[in-house]
Amino acid sequence: MRVKTLQILWHDKEPIFSVDFEPNGAGRFATAGGDHNVRVWKLAKDDHDLPVVQYLASLTRHAEAVNCVRWAPNGGTLASAGDDGSILLWQQTEQKEGAAFGEQEDGALETWRVAHILRGGTAAIYDIAWSPDASYIISACIDNTSRLFDVKEQRCIEGLADHGHFVQGVAWDPLGRYFVSQSSDRSLNVYTYEYKKSSIQVKLAGRQTKLDLAKCASRGENAKTEKRISPVTDENSAPNSCNNDSKAPSKAFRLFHDETLTSFFRRLTFSPDGALLFAPAGVYRSDAEAGENRNAVHIYGRGRILSQPLIYLPGNSKPSIAVRCSPVTYKLRNIRPDGPVSPPPVTSQPANRSPIPPPVSLFALPYRYMYAVACQDALVIYDTQQLDPLAYISGLHYATLTDLAWSSDGCTLLMTSTDGFCSVVSFDEGELGERANVVVSKTIGEVMNTPPTSPPRAVPMEVDKPSVLVGQPTMQMKRDADKPGPEAPEKKKRRIAPTFLGVAAPGK
């Protein structure tokens, strides 16, 4: 693994708010910045070398800062949104002459045009997400709403006003049953939708705000269990995971940070198979009556998406603001929770040797995914097989991180920051494991789409500071003192995250 901050004037030293790789785009990706521009780049990677970035084009039709860029699931079309309240859909064109003003720049290798403009209001948009079939886009707005757009009809078809503060993150279920939104009002909303009479009907299915400790098992029972958690059903194999005694005193605490969290974004995401939902900006404490909140990322299973989280990730010193999953599926590693890596299987076993146990996994999935968590001051890389992180990276940027993106081959991870720089984490082929090449079958999809028939149970996995499995050391990367880092940004007026102070009384 190699890490480097790329010394490029990405957006003329203005903050970079978003980054996204084009699916199967041969390394093409886009960034969004505070200079009102979207820029398209191409990343080329040589063996044993850090990737080389090539500038392709600048897209300059936005009137204000651009907060989010997301490629359509099938590639080709790029959606961008920002403080001007509009979503622009960009498509590449081969015709360079006669391009509209602002759609082309000298030195660009590609020409892009605005294919559609989606308008639903004037409020700034912090995040957007495509539906799996690229027919719809959901947006997160600072007027406390999420807006659903029909791409073909080029109009807003639904305004969801179920939050009490800024909506800062949205995500769409890859299997096409849910979409979710996260707000600074400390809630996560889950919506279901269905098609009726050539229209889409949306329903608020659940709202996640608190964790009820009275229903949870003791700390030791959950921390020591070695059994796997199923993310696709409401059944849990961990013993004594819940206490359903209605006479137990109610102890609950909020799941997420409030509006005082100094971040524009709470970018949540689904795993590529739709089995897991990762929600950043989380908090956790073992006792609702004493102790301080700890930063966390809450992980929900598909079978319990309308109930309590399955587990939480032990937090960093600063809150998490974004989570992104690698699109590559990997085979489970032969690791054991109480010892070193298991030896490789052999064709025949001696009579006096016990069979090698199958790989152990945190979740009851036959494969694993890599996912990255961007905290305000650090990047942490995990996989779904274990709770402990695989890598911890800090000291790369002067300011807070804003977004993450994985390349299609899973070997490159980009992170952006408000200091105007972008860093790259590069992995060698096979460094993260052996690819599984698993495609979620229709049968598995139907199981995941089936909501639980009984009330789901809360299964928080409470652990202290991460301790890595023996034989799987954490790679902690910090910028060396003798190596040059990014140039310090010039001091100028900063973009301040607004804070809700309350409603003034009449006459005040």
Percent of the chain with pLDDT over 90: 54
Residue 498 reports pLDDT greater than 60: no
Residue 248 pLDDT more than 50?
Answer: no
Q: Is the pTM of this model over 0.85?
A: no
Least confident of 92-101, 227-236, 323-332: 92-101
| Residue closest to 284 by CA, chosen among 321, 312, 309 | 312
Average confidence (pLDDT) over 408-421: 94
Average pLDDT in the 369-378 region? 95
SS3 312: strand
Residue 314, C-beta contacts closer than 8 angstroms, at least 6 positions apart = 294, 296, 387, 463, 464, 465, 466
* Amino acid at the residue 313: L
pLDDT of residue 281: 95
Question: Of 12-21, 38-47, 178-187, 237-246, which gets the smallest average pLDDT?
Answer: 237-246
Helices (H), 345-430: none
Residue 224 neighbours by CB distance under 10 Å: 10
Which pLDDT value is given to residue 339? Answer: 45
**What are the percentages of helix, strand and coil residues in the chain, rounded to 5?**
5, 40, 55
| pLDDT over 70, % of the chain | 71
Per-residue pLDDT at 200 exceeds 60: yes
Distance CA 32, CA 336 (A): 42
Task: Report the range out of 136-140, 197-201, 230-234, 500-504 with the highest average pLDDT.
Answer: 136-140
Q: Are 362 and 228 in contact (CB under 8 A)?
A: yes
The span from the CA of 12 to the CA of 420, in Å, is 8
Mean pLDDT, range 332-349, rounded to an integer: 56
- Give the confidence band of 196 by pLDDT, cuts at 50, 70, 90: confident
pLDDT at 359 over 90: no
Higher-pLDDT residue of 480 and 286 is 286
pLDDT tens per residue, range 77-106:
999 999 999 999 999 998 654 455 445 556
Mean pLDDT of 175-203: 92
- Residue from 373, 499, 470, 356 nearest 425 by CA: 373
**SS3 category, 91:** strand
Average predicted confidence (pLDDT) for the chain = 79
> How do residues 471-487 score in pLDDT, each as one tens digit?
333 344 433 333 444 55
CB atoms closer than 10 angstroms to residue 303? 22
Decide: helix, strand or coil at residue 202: strand
- With beta carbons less than 8 A apart as the criterion, state whether 57 and 72 touch: no
**Residue 445 burial by CB count (10 A; 0-12/13-18/19+): exposed, middle or buried?**
middle
Which of residues 435 and 462 earns the better pLDDT score?
A: 435
pLDDT at 222 over 90: no
> What pLDDT does 247 receive?
42
**Mean pLDDT highest for which of 342-346, 396-400, 413-417, 433-437?**
413-417
Task: Assign 193 a pLDDT band (cuts: 50, 70, 90).
Answer: very high
Mean pLDDT calculated for residue range 31-50 = 87
> Does 308 have pLDDT greater than 80?
yes
Q: CA separation (Å) from 474 to 307, 316, 466?
A: 32, 15, 10
Q: Answer yes or no: is pLDDT of 442 > 80.
A: no
d(CA 427, CA 412): 6
Give Cα 195 distance to the centre of its chain. Answer: 27
User: pLDDT tens digits for 118-132?
Assistant: 998 889 999 999 999
Residue 229 has pLDDT above 60, yes or no: yes
Q: What angle do CA 34, 38, 39 make, to 5 degrees?
A: 115
Q: For residue 485, what pLDDT is reported?
A: 47
Q: Which stretch, 226-235, 310-319, 413-422, has highest mean pLDDT?
A: 413-422
Task: Count Cβ atoms below 10 Å from residue 76 Cβ, excluding itself.
Answer: 14
